[in-house]
Amino acid sequence: MDQQLLTVNHLKKYFPIKGGILGREVGQCKAVDDVSFSVKKGETLGLVGESGCGKSTTGRAILRLIEPTAGQVMFQGKDVTQMTDDQLRRARRDMQMVFQDPFASLNPRHSVGRILEEPMIVHQIGSSKERKERVMHLLDVVGLDASHVRRYPHQFSGGQRQRIGIARALAVHPQLIIADEPVSALDVSVQSQVLNLMQDLQKEFDLTYIFIAHDLGVVKHISDRVGVMYLGRLVELTNKDKLYDNPKHPYTQALLSAVPTIDPDGDRRERIILQGDVPSPANAPAGCAFHTRCSHAMEICRAVRPALQDTGSEHFVACHLYN
């Protein structure tokens, strides 16, 4: 578990804001603004934060489904951001994505058999006979029936469709799966089935996950470490027990205070109500981006951006309270 599979250095994704009659660039939306972290082989890193915090954009920029503006993404010792199209196509065999809405990501006109075989055709894996055998194996692995191979996506429930999405990601024997809100569209009972399936598959196939979600309970269930994002920045990163038992960043403390806990001692966290709305990433506050909503904000917070620093035992926090 010590070997780093993925290292993200100073990743940025800025979207241009166009305006005026000529459609000139009048500003930038900083969806991901200098994010760095690494993921060890075999671990699950959860990325959490409110809608618009940049967690999904981070996932897509790692795979270059959208082009990063700057930064480095080292995967198995190679920088993904510098790869040619051909190198990227080969690397994507090892890095797959599972999307939030499996219905939108599965071609409605293709049978499940074709959907699962297609990635193997693209990556030239196996003979036709071997691919068809693997399709049947994948259906079995994700808990679907062999008879489902000829069905179409609309003939499945949401949970079954997500199983198909996971099977499709597994088809090419990936090392890393980036799962972007994979269970948030599912009923709670189905969520736990899909999470359990992902954990079983991780053990069986030695997978590494980046698990993106807004639901802190879901992230806790599946993650080894958790990164909390706010306005395109990583504000806290540590192992899940430290994060949930002893959150250090005021934003993480507020997020966790809103999560209901069942504590036998009746020891409940005091609810912290955040003031104001999340500022727009097109106009992020200077200094600490959280200072407009933070009850601990100091003079320095309005001027100087806090770096993500180790506060001890690999508990990284970006907050001037810990300098």
Q: How far is the CB of 153 from ligand SF4 (least distance, A)?
A: 44
Instruction: Measure the CA–CA gap between 176 and 71, rounded to whole angstroms.
Output: 19
Ranges assigned E (strand) in the chain: 4-19, 24-40, 44-48, 70-75, 78-79, 95-98, 176-180, 208-213, 225-230, 233-239, 309-310, 316-317
Structure tokens at 206: 């030695």
Q: Which is nearer to ligand SF4, 50 or 224 (CB)?
A: 50
Q: Which one of residues 66, 125, 274, 321 is an interface residue with ligand SF4 (CB under 6 A)?
A: 321
Q: Which is nearer to ligand SF4, 59 or 247 (CB)?
A: 247
Instruction: Measure the CA–CA gap between 9 and 1, rounded to whole angstroms.
Output: 20
Instruction: Measure the CA–CA gap between 74 and 95, rounded to whole angstroms.
Output: 12
Q: Which is nearer to ligand SF4, 174 or 306 (CB)?
A: 306
Structure tokens at 173: 């024997």
306 touches ligand SF4 by CB under 6 A: yes
216 touches ligand SF4 by CB under 6 A: no
Question: Binders of ligand SF4 among 163-192, rule CB under 6 A?
Answer: none
Sign of CA dihedral 203, 205, 208, 209: negative
256 touches ligand SF4 by CB under 6 A: no
Contact range with ligand SF4 by CB under 6 A, out of 25-33, 76-84, 111-119, 287-295: 287-295
- Cα 105 to its chain centre, rounded Å, is 17
308 touches ligand SF4 by CB under 6 A: no
Using CA atoms, how far residue 247 sits from 102, 104, 235, 238, in Å, is: 33, 36, 11, 9
> Which residues lie closer than 8 Å to 259 by C-beta, 6 or more apart?
216, 217
Helix (H, G, I), strand (E, B) or coil at 161: helix
Q: Which is nearer to ligand SF4, 31 or 294 (CB)?
A: 294
Helix (H, G, I), strand (E, B) or coil at 20: coil
Contact range with ligand SF4 by CB under 6 A, out of 78-86, 132-140, 260-268, 313-321: 313-321
Q: How far is the CB of 233 from ligand SF4 (least distance, A)?
A: 10
x/- letters, 225..254, toward ligand SF4 (CB under 6 A) = ------------------------xx----
Q: Which one of residues 12, 168, 291, 315 is an interface residue with ligand SF4 (CB under 6 A)?
A: 291
Q: Which one of residues 209, 211, 290, 316 is an interface residue with ligand SF4 (CB under 6 A)?
A: 290
Q: Which is nearer to ligand SF4, 111 or 253 (CB)?
A: 253
Q: Which residues bind ligand SF4 (CB under 6 A)?
A: 249-250, 288, 290-291, 294, 296-298, 301, 306, 319-321
